[in-house]
């Protein structure tokens, strides 16, 4: 059985200005133990999809199920926990331990089990020194860790994480990515993660579902998407920048040329009939001093932008 | 058993927060006592002029004030708590309780009832010492009567909570209701329509138990049955309206907003 089944899901909000279509018949599945990224620009429908899966929002039509349970039923909460608004999901006047025990109890865990889970998570998240500190006195990074721990303490097999690293510094963000990867690897948790931070998604997710204007525009493994947009592009670092007239000379021989970093580097995409020797010859003849050449690999951000822009242009 | 653990978790949080704000708790009690003192002074003065403001005796004032205090706590705790949860961003997490949000609210009500009971008992002690009139406290009669008297108020609390989910800022309506409760407590319950309204009949029956020493079995059966009927009616009506507004909030995605 799949952990998440979303089938032809539609959500329409009725506003004073008329209906707003947040989701238009989206479908995707998440297998047990997978970490899947849900990507999309603001207003693409990520949070709407996540809230429908949590049972916090009612769909207009279609199917949303978590481990076979329709998300509209309260029992769905036995299978899913969510981090929805980051550190706003915790009680600021309760201590770290009190928060964790409360959320474990809310899920129906007996006091002894709630204490056991609390102790485990306090240690796992490095919150031992802060276990009696009220949440309002924690740093932003610690609050975010606590919010994630509060979702984990429920012990559900599925976690929905909406922007889990929002507002975190680089170090804490990396630490949280590690936790998320570990959840799937050692505990077999299924994670559906939505984020604007492509680094987080690329670092943690094996597969991504890309939403644009309420529709699924891509659903594939990250390496497949990267391969799809891999080009014969090279990045050339220049020792002394571009000499006078060199740019025009290079543009005459190399069609897709893009100066970078105030002409201290170039990005060149070679057509099939040209190879790296053609590139080197052109650079030498233009009198350009080369410091290094590397293959320019697309990252998930490039892939995301190309897909979403392509979708937008197609709609126009 | 999971019901018990969830109930205990909600109750524990309720009491931790109460303990964490001792000034709020104690100042609430002190304010109520001050209001009572002002009412008491007014009643004594009126009595001196031959005007009886609070029924047959000063005991009427004590019982009425007691019911009003309990009613304010009963209806405000639920809707106020819901607004606070929405504001701080934890309401959605409570909605993700496997037993459903209504179970969480019922646990809140239990916490609120117990807290109010302790507060009102302390207030009653102070009031009895101040007035020099000592009331009877047959708990076996008082507690069921109190619960039945307050059941409609909990219904109103659910109704207000439903309104708060969708309309968010309902403080004005909220405050006006406090004065409506004063009128309901003071309303004579002799007429049939008076008995059908919240608080009125219950206050009279509580008065008869506390002042005249009547028990559940000596009170008029018809009145007790009407009290049960109106209690169930208003409570179910409130829960029904809450469910309706809950559905609207889920449809419009309003649970997280304030």
Each residue's pLDDT tens digit, B59-99: 777 788 888 888 888 888 888 888 888 888 889 999 999 99
Looking at chain A from residue 37 to 56, which residues have their Cβ under 8 Å from any Cβ of chain B? 48, 51, 54-56
Q: How far apart are CA B70 and CA A101, in angstroms?
A: 30
Instruction: Determine which of A51, A53, A56, A116 to mutate to test the interface with B (most B C-beta atoms within 10 Å).
Output: A56
Residue B170 has pLDDT above 80, yes or no: no
Nearest of B44, B215, B79 to residue B160 by alpha carbon: B79
Strands (E), A116-269: 158-162, 190-194, 207-212, 215-221, 233-238, 256-260, 265-269
Looking at chain B from residue 5 to 24, which residues have their Cβ under 8 Å from any Cβ of chain A? 5-6, 8-10, 12-13, 16-17, 20-21
Measured between CB atoms, does B95 come within 8 Å of chain A? yes
List, in order, residues 6 or more apart from B198 with CB less than 8 Å away: B152, B153, B155, B156, B184, B230, B234
Task: Decide the pairing of beta strands A61-66 and A69-70.
Answer: antiparallel
Spell out a b/e string for B24-45, using b for 16 or more CB atoms within 10 Å of the CB, else e.
ebeebbeebeeebeebbeebee
Measured between CB atoms, does A89 come within 8 Å of chain B? yes
Residue A48 has pLDDT above 90, yes or no: yes
Q: Give the percent of chain B with pLDDT over 70.
A: 94
List, in order, residues 6 or more apart from B217 with CB less than 8 Å away: none
Q: How far apart are CA B229 and CA B23, in angstroms?
A: 39
Measured between CB atoms, does A16 come within 8 Å of chain B? no
Length of chain B: 258
Looking at chain A from residue 253 to 312, which residues have their Cβ under 8 Å from any Cβ of chain B? none
**Backbone angles phi and psi of A297, in degrees to 5:** -90, 140
**Contact (CB<8Å) B9/A104:** yes
Instruction: Give B133 or B218, the one with higher predicted confidence.
Output: B218
| Residue reference for tokens 């609207």 | B248
Average pLDDT over residues A142-169: 89
Torsion over CA: B202, B208, B211, B213 (sign): negative
Contacts of B89 in chain A (CB under 8 A): 85, 88-89
**Among chain A residues, CA nearest to B95:** A56
Q: How far apart are CA A34 and CA A233, in angstroms?
A: 32
**Backbone angles phi and psi of B114, in degrees to 5:** -65, -45
Contacts of A13 in chain B (CB under 8 A): 252-253
Measured between CB atoms, does A88 come within 8 Å of chain B? yes
List, in order, residues 6 or more apart from A5 with CB less than 8 Å away: A29, A63, A64, A65
User: pLDDT value at position B94?
Assistant: 92
User: pLDDT value at position A107?
Assistant: 94
List, in order, residues 6 or more apart from A33 with CB less than 8 Å away: A184, A188, A189, A190
CB B187 within 8 A of CB B140: no
Q: Give the percent of chain B with pLDDT over 90.
A: 24
Strands (E), A199-308: 207-212, 215-221, 233-238, 256-260, 265-269, 290-295
DSSP codes of every residue in B143-209: HHHHHHHHHHHHHHHHHHHHHHHHH---HHHHHHHHHHHHHHHHS---SHHHHHSTTHHHHHHHHHH
Torsion over CA: A263, A269, A273, A277 (sign): positive
Task: Decide the pairing of beta strands A207-212 and A256-260.
Answer: unpaired
List, in order, residues 6 or more apart from B203 with CB less than 8 Å away: B63, B64, B67, B149, B185, B189
Per mean pLDDT, which of A196-205, B3-12, B126-135, B161-170 is the most reliable? Answer: B3-12
Task: Decide the pairing of beta strands A207-212 and A190-194.
Answer: unpaired
Average pLDDT over residues A309-316: 67
ipTM of the complex: 0.83
Residue A279 has pLDDT above 90, yes or no: no
- pLDDT tens-digit readout, A10-20: 999 988 888 88
* A233 SS3 class: strand
For A285, the enclosing helix (H) or strand (E) is helix A276-285
Residue A38 has pLDDT above 60, yes or no: yes
For A246, the enclosing helix (H) or strand (E) is helix A246-253
User: pLDDT value at position B27?
Assistant: 85
Instruction: Give B242 or B73, the one with higher predicted confidence.
Output: B242
Torsion over CA: A89, A91, A97, A101 (sign): negative
Contacts of B20 in chain A (CB under 8 A): 93
List, in order, residues 6 or more apart from B75 with CB less than 8 Å away: B153, B154, B156, B157, B160, B177, B181
User: pLDDT value at position A312?
Assistant: 67
**Backbone angles phi and psi of A132, in degrees to 5:** -105, 5
Measured between CB atoms, does A118 come within 8 Å of chain B? no
Instruction: Give B31 or A65, the one with higher predicted confidence.
Output: A65
Average pLDDT over residues A240-244: 83
* B46 SS3 class: helix
**Among chain A residues, CA nearest to B11:** A102
Torsion over CA: A84, A87, A90, A96 (sign): positive
Please tell me the pTM assigned to this model: 0.82
User: pLDDT value at position B74?
Assistant: 82
- pLDDT tens-digit readout, A180-229: 888 888 888 999 999 888 888 888 999 999 998 899 988 999 888 877 77
- pLDDT tens-digit readout, B178-233: 888 888 888 776 777 788 888 888 988 888 888 888 888 888 999 999 999 999 99
User: pLDDT value at position B20?
Assistant: 83
Beta bridge partners of A210: A39, A218
- B79–chain A nearest CA distance, Å: 18
Angle (CA) A69-A73-A76 rounded to 5° is 50
CB B173 within 8 A of CB B80: no
């Amino acid at each position: 059985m799949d952990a998440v089944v979303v089938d032809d899901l539609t959500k329409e909000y009725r506003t004073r200005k008329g209906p707003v279509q947040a989701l238009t018949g989206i479908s995707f599945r998440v297998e047990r133990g997978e970490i899947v990224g849900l990507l999309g620009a603001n207003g693409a429908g990520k949070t709407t999809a996540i809230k429908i899966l949590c049972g916090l929002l009612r769909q207009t039509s279609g199917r949303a199920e978590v481990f076979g349970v329709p998300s509209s039923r309260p029992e769905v909460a036995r299978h899913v926990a969510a981090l929805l608004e980051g550190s706003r999901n915790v009680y600021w006047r309760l201590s770290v331990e009190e928060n964790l025990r409360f959320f474990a109890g809310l899920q129906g865990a007996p006091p002894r089990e709630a204490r056991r889970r609390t102790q485990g998570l306090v240690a796992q998240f490095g919150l031992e020194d802060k276990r009696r500190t009220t949440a309002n006195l924690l740093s932003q990074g610690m609050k975010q860790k606590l919010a994630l721990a509060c979702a984990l303490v429920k012990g559900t097999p599925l976690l929905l994480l909406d922007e889990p690293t929002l507002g975190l510094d680089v170090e804490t963000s990396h630490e949280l990515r590690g936790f998320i990867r570990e959840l799937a690897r050692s505990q077999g948790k299924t994670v559906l993660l939505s984020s604007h931070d492509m680094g987080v998604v690329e670092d943690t997710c094996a597969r991504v579902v890309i939403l644009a204007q309420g529709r699924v525009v891509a659903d594939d493994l990250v390496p497949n998407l990267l391969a799809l947009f891999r080009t014969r592009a090279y990045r050339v670092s220049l020792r002394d920048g571009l000499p006078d007239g060199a740019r025009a000379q290079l543009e005459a021989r190399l069609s897709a040329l893009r100066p970078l970093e105030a002409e201290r580097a170039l990005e060149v995409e070679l057509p099939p009939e040209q190879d790296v020797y053609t590139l080197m010859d052109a650079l030498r003849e233009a009198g350009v001093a080369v410091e290094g050449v590397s293959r320019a690999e697309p990252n998930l951000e490039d892939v995301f932008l190309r897909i979403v822009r392509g979708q937008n242009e197609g709609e126009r | 058993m999971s019901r018990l653990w969830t109930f205990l978790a909600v109750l524990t949080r309720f009491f931790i927060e109460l303990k964490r704000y001792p000034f709020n708790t104690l100042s609430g009690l002190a304010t109520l006592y001050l209001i009572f003192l002002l009412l008491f002074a007014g009643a004594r003065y009126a009595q001196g002029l031959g005007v009886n403001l609070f029924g047959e005796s000063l005991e009427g004032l004590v019982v009425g004030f007691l019911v009003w205090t309990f009613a304010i706590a009963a209806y405000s705790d639920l809707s106020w708590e819901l607004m606070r949860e929405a504001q701080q961003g934890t309401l959605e997490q409570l909605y993700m309780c496997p037993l459903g949000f209504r179970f969480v609210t019922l646990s809140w009500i239990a916490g609120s009832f117990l807290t109010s009971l302790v507060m009102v008992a302390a207030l009653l002690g102070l009031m009895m010492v101040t007035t020099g009139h000592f009331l009877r406290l047959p708990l076996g009669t008082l507690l069921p009567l109190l619960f039945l008297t307050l059941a409609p108020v909990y219904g109103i609390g659910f109704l207000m909570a439903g309104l708060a989910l969708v309309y968010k800022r309902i403080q004005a309506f909220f405050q006006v209701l406090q004065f409506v409760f004063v009128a309901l407590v003071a309303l004579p319950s002799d007429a049939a329509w008076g008995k059908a309204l919240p608080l009125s009949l219950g206050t009279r029956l509580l008065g008869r138990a506390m002042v005249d020493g009547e028990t559940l079995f000596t009170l008029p059966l018809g009145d007790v049955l009407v009290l049960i009927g109106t209690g169930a009616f208003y409570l179910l009506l409130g829960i029904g309206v809450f469910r309706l507004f809950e559905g609207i909030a889920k449809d419009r995605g309003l649970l997280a907003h304030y």
